Amino acid sequence: MPTNNEDNSKMVIENVDHVEQDNSFKNMTMADKDKAIELLKQTGRSVTLTPENNKTVLRKIDLRVLPVILAIYFLQALDKATLAYASVFGLVKDANLVGHEYSWLGAIVYLAQLVAQPLIAYFLVKFPLGKFMAITTLCWGISLTCMTAAHNFGGLLTARLFLGIFEAGVAPAFIALTQMWWRRREQPVRLGAWYAMNGVTNMLGSLISFGLGHIDSGHLRPYQVIFLFFGLITIAYSVVVFYFLPDSPITAKFLTEDDKLVAIERLKANQQGIENDIWKWEHVKEAVLDLKTWMWGFMMFSISVPSGGISTFGPLIVKAFGYDSFETILFNIPFGAVQLVATMGGAYLATVLRKKSPVLVLLCLPPIAGAAMLLHLPRSASHKGALLTAYYLISVYPGITPLIYSWSAANTAGETKKKVTTGFLFVFQCAGNVLGPNLYTTGEAPLYKRGLLSNLALFVVLMGLFAAQALYLVVLNKKHANRRVALGKSAHVIDRSMMKVQKAYTDGEIAEEARKNEEHAFDDATDWQNEDFIYVY
């Protein structure tokens, strides 16, 4: 009598052979497919996903991969924020920055990232993700350290330019890592976790900068100490990234062979594959022609304009309420706490509801109220409390960006298409971050009316974009249902990727029905090509 492993082995080979013979994918070779298929053929078997082995492998991934990612993003957010901290400690005056020069120091990072995105998308397909992240972390740490020696606008601009180039791949790589390691149901919280490091940065970074600002080195100004300290920490951490961030679940040394098979089975229902290093121009074309790519791009632009402006000018806005430099740094700590709660709270709510568009609309409401309050409240000592409340209401906005990331990540398949779509998002995000700081100028202090008005308008625009995208995804699901009927399949497909493992894999009827619809999961097919792909809204 055959064993369970023998049955599983036959099932894997049959599924692979079926995929190769499917008319929709008849031109695909094994090289075109995901590397997960290679591992399945090498081992000659698969495993059945259970709540127990899923919990074990998920715990290993969360404990090994997630902490490395969190620390990288914390340092990246911190390194970009050093400019805002430096402004509080006299950088603008010492470097003789006038007009829009300080604004451009904030914007140049995002302009560099914008220009670098096409190359980053290609690199993320062709190069191992772990090694890519180690190299970029080292290079941006060096760039930040070099800012210590910059004494004027030209020197600071050059250092910030290179900082932007080397940080350009961080968030796109993290989105790729999130898609590679976690089920679609798990992605919002994990993606939200690393993005929430922005909030941790505002808390710990403010405290550390507060301490560093009191250092009397005799030779270095307080902001130079900040640049040097964080730059050297980043350089040192790049070594940790090199040794501890694995390239993929298929090659991860901390996973046993059985663990790797469990990791593959966990991701099968995503219908997005795991890893493929072949650049496919047809995926590029599809990403460009896909309306939802552009919709997510416009969302990223709309949220990044206020994000770029507030992240660069936030401490100066608070200082304009009537606080000194050290009070300003300390009052920035609750801003980070609100960011953290909004980001993780939004991710958790999206996981519970299994929908992102309603949560995104909800997250727009507090920033709208905060911006309106700052536009109408007078800058006087008697209104300090209300002004700070308004500022903290605006600080809910960082919860929006990671949900847009995860919304896009969950609805895009095909290795090259995933990377190109992510690149699109970051081009729009960078454009918004370039424009955002330039809507604020030091000459408009203390009201910053133009920047706040534009931010208010864009939060309203965002709500319309969320509704339109959700409607479009419903339409796409209906089109896929019609295609399945035309191919002789059932119109209804069970999406196990958004279900709890206890229900999705232990209920025999659900598991059997879902297995039939996951035959193209590792074909490196795009979401357009795979009629069994289910869009989540």
Q: Report the chain's mean pLDDT, rounded to a whole number.
A: 87
| pTM confidence score | 0.85
Q: Indicate the pLDDT class of residue 22, thresholds 50, 70 and 90.
A: very low
Q: Is residue 160 part of a domain?
A: yes
What domain range is 232 assigned to?
A: 51-275+286-477
Q: What's the DSSP call for residue 250?
A: T
Mean pLDDT throughout 434-448?
Answer: 80
Q: Is residue 330 part of a domain?
A: yes
Q: Is residue 32 part of a domain?
A: no
Mean pLDDT throughout 493-497?
Answer: 86
Q: Is residue 140 part of a domain?
A: yes
- Calpha distance 158→143 (Å, rounded): 9
Q: What's the DSSP call for residue 398?
A: G
Query: Does the pLDDT at position 1 exceed 80?
Result: no
- Calpha distance 448→458 (Å, rounded): 16
Say what the pLDDT of residue 18 is. Answer: 36
399 vs 24, more confident: 399
Say what the pLDDT of residue 331 is. Answer: 78
Hey, CA dihedral for 347, 350, 356, 359, is it positive or negative?
negative
Mean pLDDT throughout 474-496?
Answer: 92
Q: What is the pLDDT of residues 170-215, one digit of tens each?
A: 999 999 999 999 999 999 999 999 998 888 877 787 778 778 877 7
Query: Does the pLDDT at position 243 exceed 60?
Result: yes
Query: Does the pLDDT at position 80 exceed 70?
Result: yes
Mean pLDDT throughout 11-35?
Answer: 49
CB neighbour burial string for 315-339, b if at least 16 within 10 angstroms, e if fewer? bbbbbbbebebeebbebbbbbbebb
- Among all chains, which residue has been given the structure tokens 């519970």? 352
Q: Is residue 499 part of a domain?
A: no
Q: What is the pLDDT of residues 387-418, one digit of tens each?
A: 889 999 998 999 999 999 999 999 999 999 99
Hey, CA dihedral for 88, 93, 95, 100, is it positive or negative?
positive
Say what the pLDDT of residue 199 is. Answer: 81
* Number of domains within the chain: 1
Q: Is residue 228 part of a domain?
A: yes
Q: Indicate the pLDDT class of residue 77, thresholds 50, 70 and 90.
A: confident
CA angle 94, 336, 382 (to 5 degrees): 75
Say what the pLDDT of residue 355 is. Answer: 93
Q: Is residue 198 part of a domain?
A: yes
| Closest to 505 measured CA to CA, from 215, 247, 180, 268 | 268
**What interhelical angle do 415-438 and 400-410 show, nearest 10?**
160
- The pair phi, psi for residue 324, each rounded to 5°, is -85, 180
Query: Does the pLDDT at position 234 exceed 80?
Result: yes
What proportion of the chain, given as a percentage, has pLDDT over 90?
55
Count the Cβ atoms, other than its own, within 10 Å of residue 415.
27
CATH value at residue 267:
1.20.1250.20
Mean pLDDT throughout 466-472?
Answer: 97
- Calpha distance 156→56 (Å, rounded): 48
Q: Is residue 42 part of a domain?
A: no
Say what the pLDDT of residue 29 is. Answer: 61
Mean pLDDT throughout 55-72?
Answer: 96
Q: What is the pLDDT of residues 120-158, one digit of tens each?
A: 999 999 999 999 999 999 999 999 999 999 889 999 999
Measuring CA to CA, how many Å separate 435 from each of 37, 81, 439?
44, 17, 7
DSSP per position, 140-204: HHHHHHHGGG--SHHHHHHHHHHHHHHHTTHHHHHHHHHHHHS-TTTHHHHHHHHHTHHHHIIII
